[in-house]
Chain A
C-alpha cells in the first residue's frame, strides 16, 4: 500500500493536469460554438452531429486514434498531446449540447424584453441569455467533468501519465491494491471537481459571495498547480536530455523498462522516464517518430505484425537478422541486440488434461479441439499468428474467448477455458500446473526479446546505446520467468525486481574485477 501511495503524487498530478486542461479547452471551444450554433441554423445540426459522432467512438479508440493522426502531421504523437486532444474532443458534446439547449430553451418573452429595454445583441447575450441558460450549461459541464476524469485513466496507453497507470499496471500484475488506489483516487477527484463546479454555479446564481470565493479559490489553486507543473515539465528540464523508455501493458514489459531505465541512469547519469502501459503499435510508432527512445519488442511480433510475413521452417533461423535489417532500412529503427530469451506464443493446457488426452504436440490437439474452449489475449485473435495456426494445423475450437492476459492463466487453471495462448516466459505456466504443447509445424516464429532504439538515440546518444549493449544476452528465459513470477504471484513491484536484478549484476561485476 505505501509503495503504491508513493506513486500517487506523480500519477495524480498527471491526472489533474489532463483533466483540468481538457475541461478548460472543452469549455472554451464548446460554449462559443454552442452560442454560434443557436444563431446559425445549419451550424447547429453540423456541430451537434459531429460532437455526437465523436461521442459514439469508444473512448480508448478515440485516444489511440490520435497517435497515428498526430504522427502523420509530424507533431508529438504520444504522451500529453494525444491525450489532451482526445479528452478535449470527448468533453465537448455535453457542454455544446447543453449550451444550445439552454439558450434555445429561454422563453422568447425574456429575449424580447431584453431587446425592448434597449439592449444590443451582445448585451442580450451577456446579460440575459447566458445567465438564464447557465444552470443548463453548467449541467453539461458537470457531465463532462465526470466523463473526463474517468476517461483520463485511459490516457495511459497513449503515454500520458495518469491514475490509469495504477489501473493498467495493477490489472496486469494482479496488484489489486494499485487498481483500488487508482480507482478511488479518480472517483474522489471526480467528486471534488464536480462539487466545485456545482458550488461555483450555485454561488453565482444565488449571489453567495462566500461560495463563489471558496470555489474560485480552490479551482485557481488547482489550475495554478497544473500550470506550474506542466510548465516545469515542458520548459524546466530539457526534453532532449531525457531518455524516454516505453513499456507495453504486461508484467515482463514493466520489469524490462525499469531495468533499462536503471541501467541507463547508472551508466550515463542521464535521467530516464518510463512511459508505461503503451498500446503495442503505439510504442512502435512512437519509436519511429522519435517520441520514444527505447523499448523492448519481440522478433516474431515485428516479423508478423509489422513486416507482415509468415513464418515457416526454412526461414526461422534468419528471422532475427532479417528483422534487424528491415527495421533499419525501412523504418529507421535500430536493434541494439537480443536480451537472451525467447518469449513465444504457446498453447498451454492443464497438465492433467494433457496427460489424459495424451497430448504432446499441437498436431495431437487437432482432433479434440472442437470440444475445447480457447482463451486468447486481447490482440491474439487479430494477429497473423492465429491465422497461420488455424490454416496450417486445421485447428477449430468450440469457442474462442478474448480475455485479459492477467486473467487468462487463472481461467485455464480453474477450468473456465481449456486452452490458452500463453507467453512462454510467464512464470504462472509452471506455478499453476500448466503444460505447453510443442509447435511441431514451426508455425509460430521465434520471439527473441530485442532492445529497439530510435534513430535519434543512435545519432545523438551513442553513450546510451553503449549502456544498453551491456544488457545484451543478460537475461535468460529462466531468469525472466522467475522475475515475472515474483511480480505476478508475490506482489512485488516491477521496479523493486528490476533494482534487485541490477544490484545483483553490479555485485557480480565488482567481484569480476
Chain B
C-alpha cells in the first residue's frame, strides 16, 4: 500500500480509547479490514493511525442469556454468526443476512460491528439488527451510551458515532428471539457483488416489519404494518419510505420494482 500509517494493537479497552481520544479523526479502528484496507489502498481512507481492536480481551465474545439477550463483542465475525447454534435457533434472521454477505474468505474476517460502522446503504447486517430492535453500545473516554439501530444510521457511510467513540458491543434483546422472517437480496454474483437491493420481512409484536437495503441513503425500517394487509398494500407503505437512486448498478425504477417483487414473494412465507 502506498499510504503510510502507524499501526497500534492495544491490549486493553482503556488503552484503545486513550489512543482514539488522542488522535481523533486521524485514527481508524481496524477490525476485519475488509472495508478499511481496500479503502486505504484506493486512497479513500488516509488514517495516520490504524488501531487494531482484535487483541482486546473478549473481542469475540458471543453469549446469550434470557436476562441479557444476545451480546456480540465487536470482534464477532460474520462466520462466527453463521456457526453459532443459538443464533441459528433463536435469531435466524441474523444468520440469513450473514449468509448473504460476501464470500467465505471475507466472512471469516469481516465483523458485524465493522459492517454497521461502515454504514453502507447496502449493509446486510443492518437489516436483521433493525428488525430485531438491536442496540449498539458505544464507548469513549467520556463514558458509554447505548443507541438503537433505528437511530444509528444518518446517511451513506455516516452514523451517530462521534470521533473517539468505539462500538464495543451489539445487543439483541431476548424479547426479539424467535422472530420469524425472510430475506431476499438481488445481486449479480453471490460472493462478489454488493447488493442491488435487499428486502427483509419479519414478524414482530406490533405487526409486520420490512427492512430494505440499497434503496435510500441509509438502511430503512418500516414497522407496525397491519397484519392482514396484502402485498400491494405493504408495498405501497414501503415505497413511501424508500428513496432509491440511479447508479452504476441499476436504476431507481428497477430498485422500486424489485422491492415490490420481493415483498410479493416473501409475504406468503412470512404470514404462514
Instruction: State whether these chains interact.
Output: no
